[in-house]
Amino acid sequence: MVISCKDKDKNETPEPTAKNKILVNYPWRMSSVTDLSGKTIPDNQLGTDTKYILKMDIQFQQNATVKALDQISSQVINGGTWSLINEEKALDIKIIGFSGEFGLEELTNSRMKLKSKMPVGGVEQEAIMVFQPVIK
């Protein structure tokens, strides 16, 4: 009797990594934006797109889709795709108004820090967006 193993790996999706699991665990809410030294940047110095992100919860899903939800109504106001890239050192997000490759500075169950270039006080500079999980 011959036992075949050739179908064993068919239709199997790759196991999510630890970072994938943390990302999809909860929606994320931006709590602050800091400069590279960790000093909080006041909201009135942030660009329009960045201020807009402060009003939404970002929900990463297993199937590589991402949704932006209104914090008050929980209605989906935007959506797109996401993926971890560069050996999980960056997060590639494609949503209108919130697209690009963001440096993944920190990702734990209690905090996510994404590094990006953004306008601060009208000047383009690198800054850190700090997110907290939304636990309801």
Q: Sorting pLDDT into bands at 50, 70 and 90, what band is 99? A: confident
Instruction: Measure the CA–CA gap between 85 and 41, rounded to whole angstroms.
Output: 27
Q: Is 127 exposed, middle or buried (0-12, 13-18, 19+ CB in 10 A)?
A: buried
Amino acid (1-letter code) at residue 86: N
Structure tokens at 104: 């993944």
Tell me the whole-structure pTM to 2 decimals.
Answer: 0.84
38-84 tens-digit pLDDT:
999 999 999 988 888 888 999 999 999 999 999 999 999 999 999 99
Largest Cα span, the chain: 74
